[in-house]
Structure 1
Amino acid sequence: MRRLLRLLSLRVRLLLLTATLLLAGLALVTTVVTGQLERYQLDRVDTQLRSFTALLAQMPATAPTAPSAPVVTASPAMIDPALDLIGAPYLVYLDGGGAVVRDVHTSGLDRATLPAPGALRGVPADGAPVYLPGADGTSRWRAVARPTTGPDGTAIAAAPLAAADATVARVRGTSVISGGVLLVLLTAAGWYALGRGLRPLRRIEHTAAAIASGDLSRRVPVDAAPGTEIGHLATSLNTMLGQLERAFAARAASEARMRTFVSDVSHELRTPLFVIKGSAQLYRMGAVTGHGDADEAMRRIENEATRLTALAENLLLLARLDDVSETHLDRAPMDLRTLATDARHDLRALDPSRPVELTGPGGDGPPGPAPVHADEDRLRQIVANLVGNAVAHTPAGTPVRIGVGTADGRAVLEVADEGPGMTAGQADHVFDRFYRTDRSRARSGGASAGLGLAIARSLARAHDGDVELETALGEGARFRLTLPQLRQG
């Protein structure tokens, strides 16, 4: 049975459950109503019979003198109207020995259906009503007996229960028919109501099927009121679907970034490996004969090996920075002014023709104190990348300004140049790994792989800071390192 129920739809199961409960309720109501009606009929008959026996017990029974004398002497024309008026009872007098002295009944009662004398003698004379079977065995009677006030005898009043039973049967039949009609109508109404009630669930099913087919943008229509169970379910499902869509989008973006990263790494590794392989092949083929040629080949191999080493170290650093729990920072109190001063010396050493100015943040006033609690070596790496970026992407002799101090409660070090600047599209990707604004630019050294700014931002964020860029085409670029300020005292 359970297996069969599991095969049925929720709508059918709910309808079967409600129909079963309704049928049980109708059956209970019918049983209670017919039982109460039958009890009422019996109480009414018992009340009448007690009244009759109380009257009969006060009236003396005149026994016939001859054995063959007739028991019923009254005329039916006189007896029938009177007895029919009071419910057509069967009135009987028994003598002390239990023999029938006199009995009275309407002519409409067949004597074969009357209670047998033996059954009448078994009726208790205390006025308690009892059931008696008819002599033919098909009818039921209700009888009450009391002792007479005259000679030793018993007065009995009995009434047939055929009319009461017919009334109860008619009520029971009417209840069954009307209950069946009501059950059919309510089942049809329930089928329609359940169909409308379960319509949001069908929409949820269709939405789930569409999502399973790959349409992650689908949402469940919220047709029900927000306070209902269906409304809560639809809202929760839409929230979950939004999270799933974002998770899948993030996963797709991560996979795309990984493919781009692998492609860029492969591209960066391929050039130095080709140079090393080509130089080695030339040497093996005997093309490198002179001492100077051998030195040049070794120099190229050494340069490309150095580039590979720098690239590998940068990739390893980025991998460590991606997992902050594994990033080890040797923090200590320091001042960014030290890094700014060293950066100015580095710029002059790289390009003596460049004017280098040391100012406060934004070029306002002299450089100010910028105390931080940070790893000095990592911060020097950030500043070196920013300085190297300014040298690599601006013409020789382009002025550079280094600003240091505090702004908005944070320590700031900025490197601003007056070079060609970048477009908005270039600025959006300048911190991406392996991104270069000039793809045709010759590469030399690890920084040219397009990892310098990505490393700088990752290191800054590991210090709870950031590296920001302000630029416009033809207006130069300003890279701004911000870090939490170390509170003194």
Structure 2
Amino acid sequence: MSSAPPAEVTAPPASATRWWSPRTWSLRARLVVTQVALLAVVCASIGVATEFALQRFLMNQLDDQLVEAGRRSAAIFELPPPPPGFPPPPGVRGHHRVPFDPEEGPGPGFLNAPGQAARMVGAVVAPDRPVDAGVITTAGDRAELSEAAVAQLAAVPATRIPETVDLDGLGRYRLIGLHPRHGGTQTIVTGLPTAVVDDTLLWVLGMFCVLAVIALIAATTAGTMIIRRQLAPLSRVSVAARKVADLELDRGEVQLPTRIVSVDPVSAHTEVGQLGTSLNRMLDRIASALSARHASETRVRQFVADASHELRTPLAAIRGYTELAQRKRDDLPPDVAHAMNRVESETTRMTQLVEDMLLLARLDAGRPLERDSVDLSRLVVDAVSDAHVAGADHDWSLDLPEDPVLIEGDEARLHQVLANLLANARTHTPPGTSVTVSLKTDTDAVVLTVTDDGPGIPATLVPDVFERFARGDSSRSRREGSTGLGLAIVAAVVKAHGGTIAVRSVAGSTEFTVRLPRPGSQGTHRMDQSGT
């Protein structure tokens, strides 16, 4: 007996299996990616906050230095010019004299004062006078500024508040404008470069990125190992469930392990432990239900076998008496003769039903079949010839290879397979239907195909077509003498030979395909060992 094929998981479309779709990722991958993403967000947040705080701190330091340099520059600007004969002799310093030449080089004189930082810019902005501006080079000399840079320095107000300006040809600077301490209309502009701050921030950012990458790699590696270890029990549960799903639970006796998932008592309260415990309980219940079902099926099949065997004797007696009565039908009243004729026809039909049920019971019990060399080509020719006689209103055709096709099996049962398939095509198709029987050899199997161009099998009946007592048209099947066991016997005999049978039916085309193992193949070896 064959049942409906197990439901298979439909492969998702290609668009749904793209690697960037999180729905297609495993739970382990999702956890690792989520962990790394959260760590990356935390690292980025810490980096941004660190950079912002460090930038504020360094800028405040630079502003303090700038204010101090500005005040020093304003104080030096108000010093009187050096006396004649500057510089003084060594070791001689005036009380208010500074040992530097304010007239040396371009720019205001306070740029030559000791203690001024390299790359510092200075300018004196006075109404109706050219801007006196310059910059201290890295070598300690004074250099001129471009006209654009001078204009930018002249635009700095004397608000004593530092501001950032991108000076032409020099880069980013913090500038401050001050008035002389003792009054005056001039504006003393002093500026320090922000390069040190920018370089420090860039170095810290680079170091932080390197450390973040190392941390992410370490977190990914460690997270993968930890998550894999933590999800190992869940993987065992999945493997166990897959093994149970692969078992043929729809027929025969099924042996399920009592404890298919090992659950540590210490972790039984966890989610994975509860899942494993629930799966074990479910499998225990399934095993009990399957055992009860198998026992019930065994009793039913044994009853059918016993009943079929016991019914053969009374049916043979009834048939004998009806044949005896039929010999003297001329002496019987017409109604009695008609009744005896009906008794004989129904006895014949019931005898065929009992024989079919007895055959199925024997196949269910694993009775060994005869194993001889069978010329399948000759069986096909004989079966089609018989079908042509029984269904002359159908168009029968053959498609056979030139060489005989030999297999090992039970010739009588294989002939019954052919006869039942052809009878099924004849019974369930209208007159004029073309039925083609083809036979070909594959690498390890013999393929027998019975195809007709009839109306087809209803889609709702296709999954149950090999079930016992399955009928597409009950009235017609009964009129033609069908018992509803023909295709069930076909499936059982094919399975007993180690083969398979499949059906494909649409409107205008129905095809039954039987695959039987060739001599020496794995399927034949299984049949030789088990007899089923």
Query: TM-score normalised to the size of structure 2?
Result: 0.45
Q: What is the TM-score normalised by the length of structure 1?
A: 0.49
Which gives a bigger RCO, structure 1 or 2 (Cα 8 Å, sep 6+)?
Answer: 2
